Structure formats: C-alpha cells, structure tokens
C-alpha cells in the first residue's frame, strides 16, 4: 500500500481539489483508493457526500486514529491512501508525513503562499521525507509564475513538472462531487490532473525522475 500526503501550511492552496482528483484518477487506473480527511473542515467528506459514485472511499479521521486506520486499510488490501491534511497544524502535518511514501506540497504563485510553502518544505526536510512542490491556480500570464519556479528551484526542493492552472472546470466539478476528468474529460484541466497523477505515481514508486517532456508524453 502506498501513502500520499497533500500538505501545505496555508489554506486555499487547493489541497482537497488535488486529493480528490488524484484519488479518482487512481481509482480509474484500477487502484483501490481511499482518502483520509484529517481536516476539521472535512471538505473531502462533503465532496464525497454529494458524490453519486461510491468510490473512492472517503473517511473523516482524527490524527490520533491515523495509524489504526492505515493498518485497517492495509489489511483490507487498499492500494493507495491519500491524506488530505489541514493548513496551519504542524503536528498533524508531521503525523501524516511520517507514514507517507511521498508528499505533494501545493502552492499558489504568490509571495504569501510561497512563504508558507517554504515552511512546509523545511518540515519535510527535517524528517527526510520525499516531496515535491506543485504550482496550483497558475495565472495565464504574468511573471509571477516564472518567479515562483525560480524561488522553488533555489530552495533545492523538487518541483513538479506538471502545473495546475486557473480553470473553471475544477470548481464546476467539485460542486457536483466529481472531478474535472469526469465532468470534462477532454478539457485542459483533465489533462493536467492525469499528468499529475502519472508523475505522482512515479514518485510513489520511487522510479527515475521525469521531466516535462516525459510527463507530457504519458498524458
């Protein structure tokens, strides 16, 4: 069983959108997948409540119960568990990161989000946890995106070659308890999620790093 955590110290970075979209991508790829919602706001759970499909399974879990739940899912034959973590809570982030095989750190391309992202990177580095930053809500134009790429690279942290842009397809799908690749399978949003899923799967399995061209060729 592989464990993926979606962690960042700042709210509004799109953790739940990424968690649910990757979970659906994995389920569609034949992996028995579950989301454990560690956030008191329980956004992943609300998404599941309005979802017509029964998969992926979503459970509201307190951090203190996380080891027990992971053991139960492992015994049940689950292939992939995605941990949707709350912002701010350093202790919960550590609880989620420790058992994880890989951590995705979403961030917007602006100064305040980058600052919070650096705190999360430092936290992951303190426990030698493999991680990558993924730029989310990327603007269509402007120098902020390139500046953000340079800042992230200067930190020495892995930067996902797949970036998620500001697209209405993400929000529309979430409101229906679905994901962009389900509601608009031919959209650019769907292509981005599938590419991010394939990149994340490679990282979870500790395969050789891939660059932008290889990820794009597998999308």
List the alpha helices (DSSP H) in 29-167: 43-49, 66-75, 90-97, 111-126, 144-154
Cβ neighbours around 36 below 10 Å, total: 25
For 122-145, the pLDDT digits (tens) are 999 999 999 999 999 999 877 889
Q: Quick check: 217 pLDDT over 50?
A: no
Distance CA 125, CA 93 (A): 13
Every domain of the chain and the residues it spans: 2-218
Q: Quick check: 215 pLDDT over 50?
A: no
| Residue reference for tokens 């996902």 | 160
Per-residue tokens: 148? 């953000």
pTM of the model: 0.93
Distance CA 100, CA 19 (A): 14
φ/ψ (deg, to 5) at 58: -130, 130
For 142-194, the pLDDT digits (tens) are 788 999 999 998 999 999 999 999 999 999 999 999 999 999 999 999 999 99
Distance CA 35, CA 45 (A): 9
Superfamily of domain 2-218: P-loop containing nucleotide triphosphate hydrolases (3.40.50.300)
């Amino acid at each position: 069983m592989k464990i993926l955590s979606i962690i960042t110290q700042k709210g509004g970075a799109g953790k739940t959108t990424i968690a649910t979209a990757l979970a659906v991508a994995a389920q569609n790829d034949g992996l028995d997948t579950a989301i454990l919602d560690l956030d008191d706001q329980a956004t992943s759970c609300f998404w599941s409540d309005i979802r017509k499909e029964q998969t992926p399974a979503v459970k509201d879990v307190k951090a203190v119960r996380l080891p027990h739940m992971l053991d139960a899912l492992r015994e049940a034959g689950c292939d992939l568990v995605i941990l949707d973590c709350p912002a701010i809570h350093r202790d919960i982030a550590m609880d989620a990161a420790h058992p994880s095989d890989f951590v995705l750190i979403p961030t917007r391309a602006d100064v305040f989000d980058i600052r919070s992202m650096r705190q999360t990177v430092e936290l992951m580095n303190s426990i030698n946890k493999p991680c990558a930053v993924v730029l989310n809500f990327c603007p269509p134009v402007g120098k902020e995106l390139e500046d953000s790429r340079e800042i992230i690279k200067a930190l020495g942290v892995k930067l996902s070659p797949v970036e998620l842009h500001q697209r209405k397809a993400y929000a529309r799908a979430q409101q229906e308890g679905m994901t962009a690749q389900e509601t608009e399978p031919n959209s650019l949003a769907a292509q981005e999620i599938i590419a991010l899923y394939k990149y994340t799967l490679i990282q979870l399995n500790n395969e050789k790093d891939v660059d932008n061209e290889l990820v794009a060729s597998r999308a």
